[in-house]
Amino acid sequence: MESESSCLPCTPDEENQIISQLNNADASTSIKEGDLFYVLSNRWFIKWQKYTGQYLDDLSMDDHITVSQLLPSPPRPGQIDNHHLLVNTQGDDFELIRTLDEGTDYVLLSQQVWKKLHDWYKGGPALPRKVISQGDLKNTFAVEVYPLRLQLIDARDARQYLIRISKRASVGELYDQVKLLLGLGEERVCIWDYFNKKKHLVLDVEHKALDEAQLQMDQDILLEVQGSVFWSSGLGMDSTGNGLALVPVEPSRSSVTIAGGPSMSNYSTGYLSNFYEENSLFPQLKDVEGGYNLRKMTKEDKGGLAGLQNLGNTCFMNSAIQCLVHTPPLVEYFLDDYSEEINKQNPIGMQGQLAISFGDLLRNLWSPGRAPIAPRGFKAKLARFAPQFSGYNQHDSHELLAFLLDGLHEDLNRVKSKPYIEMKDANERPDEEVANECWEIHQARNDSVIVDVCQGQYKSTLVCPVCSKVSVTFDPFMYLSLPLPSTATRSMTITVFYGDGSGLPMPYTVTILKHGCNKDLLQALGTACCLNTDETLLLAEVYEHKIYQYLENPLEPLSSIKDYEHIVAYRLHKEQEGSIKLVIIHRSKEKKLLGTPLVTCLAEGPQTTADVQNAVHKVLNPLLKTKACHPSNWAHTSMEDGSASRTNADGAVDNGISEFGLGTDSVDKMELDQLFNGVASFNLSLTDEKGLSCSLMEDDFLFQPMDRLTVLLDWSDREHDVYDLSYLEDLPDVHKTGSTAKKTRQEAISLFSCLEAFLKEEPLGPDDMWYCPTCKEHRQAIKKLDLWRLPEILVVHLKRFSYSRYLKNKLDTFVNFPTCDLNLEKYVKSKAAAAGSHVYKLYAISNHYGGLGGGHYSAYAKLIEENRWYHFDDSYVSPISEEEIKTSAAYVLFYQRVQEKGDESS
């Protein structure tokens, strides 16, 4: 009985409650490795959330906007449909599209929640995924949405097979799966890492997990089966009879060393030397762990022009790396012997492994030659210590830079045991004294090449708005994240209709920020049409004389509204928010739709046909024709209270139905009086919101309370003689781009205006209140930042991306930044002579092209010795002129201090 009842339909509230209880139970249970989660289409899930009311609970609304006025009553969703998430929907081989984004394309549900939803709705297909541990972090788990996908090549006949296996599976499990797939029994087999069609390393069963073997998504692995020769420890003997035969390989006899320093074999996962470059089917390409016996290097080796192979959406990583490996002080440091500074004991570091891996990569990139390098070893280290960057989705190059700078600092921190130092109160001491003391305390715990060249110091001032208590602190920074002041605006024309029939429809043109949302449009439109405090606006898109959609989410970006669309707004009274919305669609004698739909409200409770007829009369009232106020003599005006009026030829204002001139040429006075008084009936039919179905509305219909009722109004000659339909026709476009209209380019902003926006005084947010020691209360203090101490390398992050739960946006604003002589002297508050020069020159840029999720990263970097710029686009490197590097794609800027004359230490 229990299983049968679980399939019975529940009310929306019951479904919501059941799923919420399951989610709460899941939240109280610890996730462990091997747990199952299910991938579910977010498109379907949002429909279910709207149906059950979950979607509304999270919307933060303005006081003038209420949920019930914006949202129709959503239908029950159909069967679960995950097919649009799949590459191939044929058969049972369900492979997810590689670029899906959690929260946008899909959601992850626990096994219990999936089972319950599937019981109710059926459909599918089911897409279960296992929880795996992440990297070296304890008790850190993630759902493996994309298991490792490998292309197995059988050396015996060159046949290829697709292998799907967890990246946390052992190499032994890979061998077992391959043997089972090919029906191999006791034969001796060996599987090679065959990345880029080159033999790199025999996969040894001693490896703990596949991710430690550095296998990449979609790469090749090569299977060789021994007929008569014994295999041991990855040492190969000749195998004959095919073109992919094994060639003897000697294991590496020496550990990778750092610039002649002590052996670091415990910290380097070196590959065997690559003896197969000449046999490669692809262009020559190095592997970072190529068994290099590194020596102390210099820039005289003429390197720095090698590209980085894209390992699957790793352009963000390649862009960040190229900027860092072309940072002059870091190049000098990592080309020298830095082995003595590797901190293996730092509990918040990575045992030096990140620094060693980055150093190896930098040395390879500065080695002679331009062969692209595959940074597989570095990516594997990154996944171990920063699981957020694992997988094959696009990430943020600035977030990676922030992690790398902080991680390199901890791995190279010269302080082996951080002392505890208690901060002293300022006690009205001079800022210079307090700032120097804070910097010394910081350096006593943090001392590395990163601190030496990349860290500066802020002055942060907080002022209590109640007692005026002032708090000043001096904090270190690694980079500046600057906002982009928006100068781009958008003109939008919206036609406002009166839901109570108190005025004529009126178009309003408002100007708002281009990257705003529906809420901004509603506020601007409310101001333009003098919206009363007891009124609200319902936005809708009209297409082919029907309401195509209601713009229900106030936080939806305005970019979703196109210039050629027709958007209307209906003025409705807030007190009617619980009543039925009556939508009136107009139809001609030829049964074709015409005009613009009207929306009004019926009273609360059950409604009759007569109530609907009266509501239609009321909302059509402003369209009445009279001899005294013929449409040809009307002019649109806007009264102070927001109601539209009609002005006749004599200048008299008519706000309603005049006592005079009620007759028309074709309708006698009695019939017109009947129409005005709601006696005569319109020809109305019930229909759906698309105006497709149609059933005549009888006189004795009784409508129970519902969210929305849609009717068709048939316009006969009588209606055309009494009402002027022209006011419902020819809706203006949101923005008319006529031949005379000039497209103005978005105004460029300067880097200095971004810096000034960052440094301006502003109140803290309500979620970031400051505890005032005088008031003993949390206060929304006024905060002011100032630059106090600037580093040798200044990293400037332009905040092009903004994220919230409902809104993701990218600003493509062009920022005009100096390439040389960036003078920040007036922004630095410290006047100490030791502060050094405040003038900087640009040497690298991390670029981002395109929109969110589907964009691409590249880098521009300058070879200082050549005084020449290059474009690093993954594997491809090409020269570029300095005039070409200024683009709206600039995302992270890298500046180096210009030495003052006679100063060789800067």
CATH assignment at residue 136: 3.30.2230.10
**Residue 276 pLDDT > 60, yes or no?**
no
Model confidence at 342, pLDDT cuts 50, 70, 90, reads: very high
> Would the CA dihedral through 257, 261, 263, 269 be positive or negative?
negative
The domain boundary residue, chosen from 180, 195, 226: 226
Give dist(CA 576, CA 604) in Å, integer.
Answer: 8
The pLDDT of 380-393, averaged and rounded, is 78
Predicted confidence at residue 652, as pLDDT, reads 41
**Which of 483-492, 632-641, 840-849 reaches the highest mean pLDDT?**
840-849
Give the pair of three-digit tokens for residue 52: 């059950």
For the chain, what is the mean pLDDT?
77
**Structural domain tally of the chain?**
3
Helix (H) or strand (E) holding 358: helix 353-365
Model confidence at 488, pLDDT cuts 50, 70, 90, reads: low
Which tens digit of pLDDT belongs to each residue from 856-906?
Answer: 899 999 998 889 999 999 999 999 999 999 998 999 999 999 987 655 443
> Higher-confidence residue: 703 or 719?
719
CB-based contact 892:353 (threshold 8 Å) = no
Residues 6+ apart with CB under 8 A from 279: 198
> Would the CA dihedral through 570, 571, 574, 576 be positive or negative?
negative
Give dist(CA 822, CA 842) in Å, integer.
Answer: 8
Q: For position 494, which CATH number holds?
A: 3.10.20.90
Torsion of CA 600, 603, 609, 614, to 10 degrees: -60
The pLDDT of 843-861, averaged and rounded, is 87
**Which of 89-93, 243-247, 314-318, 736-740 reaches the highest mean pLDDT?**
314-318
Q: Looking at 367-381, 498-512, 643-657, which range is the least confident one? A: 643-657
Same domain, 610 and 694: yes
Predicted confidence at residue 356, as pLDDT, reads 93
Give dist(CA 651, CA 659) in Å, integer.
Answer: 17
Predicted confidence at residue 476, as pLDDT, reads 94
Give dist(CA 876, CA 371) in Å, integer.
Answer: 10
Same domain, 191 and 165: yes
**Residue 252 pLDDT > 60, yes or no?**
no
**Residue 289 pLDDT > 80, yes or no?**
no
Give dist(CA 297, CA 321) in Å, integer.
Answer: 19
Model confidence at 239, pLDDT cuts 50, 70, 90, reads: very low
Report yes or no on 174 lying in a domain.
yes
Predicted confidence at residue 354, as pLDDT, reads 92
Range of the domain at 609: 489-625+681-729
Predicted confidence at residue 697, as pLDDT, reads 77
Predicted confidence at residue 302, as pLDDT, reads 61
Report yes or no on 508 lying in a domain.
yes
Report yes or no on 335 lying in a domain.
no
**Residue 739 pLDDT > 60, yes or no?**
no
Report yes or no on 897 lying in a domain.
no
Question: What number of CA atoms fall less than 13 Å from residue 517's CA on the CB side?
Answer: 15
Phi, psi of 564 (to 5 degrees): -85, -5
- Residue 602, judged by CB atoms within 10 A of its CB (0-12, 13-18, 19+), counts as buried
Predicted confidence at residue 137, as pLDDT, reads 58
Model confidence at 243, pLDDT cuts 50, 70, 90, reads: very low
CB-based contact 594:587 (threshold 8 Å) = yes
Predicted confidence at residue 103, as pLDDT, reads 81
Percentage of the chain exceeding pLDDT 70: 76
Q: Looking at 29-33, 739-743, 902-906, which range is the least confident one? A: 739-743
**Which of 186-200, 270-284, 625-639, 732-746 reaches the highest mean pLDDT?**
186-200
Same domain, 700 and 620: yes
**Which of 94-108, 283-297, 769-783 reaches the highest mean pLDDT?**
769-783
Report yes or no on 181 lying in a domain.
yes
Report yes or no on 762 lying in a domain.
no
**Residue 275 pLDDT > 70, yes or no?**
no
Helix (H, G, I), strand (E, B) or coil at 616: helix
> Higher-confidence residue: 407 or 283?
407
Helices 328-335 and 315-325, packing angle to 10 deg? 80
Model confidence at 553, pLDDT cuts 50, 70, 90, reads: confident
Predicted confidence at residue 69, as pLDDT, reads 40
**Residue 693 pLDDT > 80, yes or no?**
no
The domain boundary residue, chosen from 226, 261, 278: 226
User: Which among 113, 78, 223 has a CA at the least distance from the CA of 159?
Assistant: 223
Which tens digit of pLDDT belongs to each residue from 498-522?
Answer: 988 888 999 999 888 777 788 889 9
CB-based contact 522:570 (threshold 8 Å) = no
Same domain, 181 and 45: no
Same domain, 56 and 202: no
Q: Which amino acid, one-letter code, is at 585? A: I
Same domain, 557 and 688: yes
Predicted confidence at residue 808, as pLDDT, reads 64
**Residue 710 pLDDT > 80, yes or no?**
yes
Same domain, 597 and 522: yes
Report yes or no on 873 lying in a domain.
no
Predicted confidence at residue 283, as pLDDT, reads 34
What pTM, to 2 d.p., does this model score? 0.62
Which tens digit of pLDDT belongs to each residue from 577-624?
Answer: 667 888 999 999 888 899 999 999 887 767 788 888 888 999 998 988
Report yes or no on 675 lying in a domain.
no
The pLDDT of 422-450, averaged and rounded, is 87
Predicted confidence at residue 57, as pLDDT, reads 47
- In three state form, how does the secondary structure of 406-435 look? HHHHHHCCCCCCCCCCCCCCCCCCCHHHHH
**Residue 534 pLDDT > 50, yes or no?**
yes
Residues 6+ apart with CB under 8 A from 239: 155, 224, 226, 227, 229, 245, 246
Same domain, 96 and 214: no
Model confidence at 736, pLDDT cuts 50, 70, 90, reads: confident
The pLDDT of 324-336, averaged and rounded, is 94
Active-site annotation, residues = 315, 856
CB-based contact 702:606 (threshold 8 Å) = yes
CB-based contact 74:12 (threshold 8 Å) = no
> Higher-confidence residue: 351 or 214?
351
The pLDDT of 129-140, averaged and rounded, is 75
The domain boundary residue, chosen from 692, 711, 729: 729
**Residue 720 pLDDT > 50, yes or no?**
yes
Phi, psi of 632 (to 5 degrees): -70, -20
- Residue 231, judged by CB atoms within 10 A of its CB (0-12, 13-18, 19+), counts as middle
User: Which among 89, 80, 19 has a CA at the least distance from the CA of 52?
Assistant: 19
Predicted confidence at residue 755, as pLDDT, reads 93
DSSP structure string for 475-516? EEES-EEE------EEEEEEEEEETTS-S--EEEEEEEETT-
CA distance between the termini of the chain: 80
Same domain, 536 and 620: yes
Predicted confidence at residue 832, as pLDDT, reads 74
Which tens digit of pLDDT belongs to each residue from 654-676?
Answer: 444 333 333 334 444 444 455 44
Percentage of the chain exceeding pLDDT 90: 27
Predicted confidence at residue 330, as pLDDT, reads 95
* 266 to 262, 338, 356, 436, 704: CA distances (angstroms): 11, 16, 11, 40, 77
Same domain, 37 and 179: no
Predicted confidence at residue 2, as pLDDT, reads 39
Residues 6+ apart with CB under 8 A from 412: 338, 341, 342, 343, 352, 355, 448, 449, 450
Give dist(CA 57, CA 46) in Å, integer.
Answer: 13
Same domain, 128 and 179: no
The pLDDT of 694-704, averaged and rounded, is 72
Which tens digit of pLDDT belongs to each residue from 49-64?
Answer: 888 877 554 444 333 3
Predicted confidence at residue 185, as pLDDT, reads 78
Give dist(CA 629, CA 892) in Å, integer.
Answer: 64
> Higher-confidence residue: 568 or 201?
568
Same domain, 45 and 153: no
Burial code (b: 16+ CB inside 10 Å, e: under 16) for 370-409 equals eebbbbbbbbbbbbbbbbebbbebbbbbbebbbbbbebbb
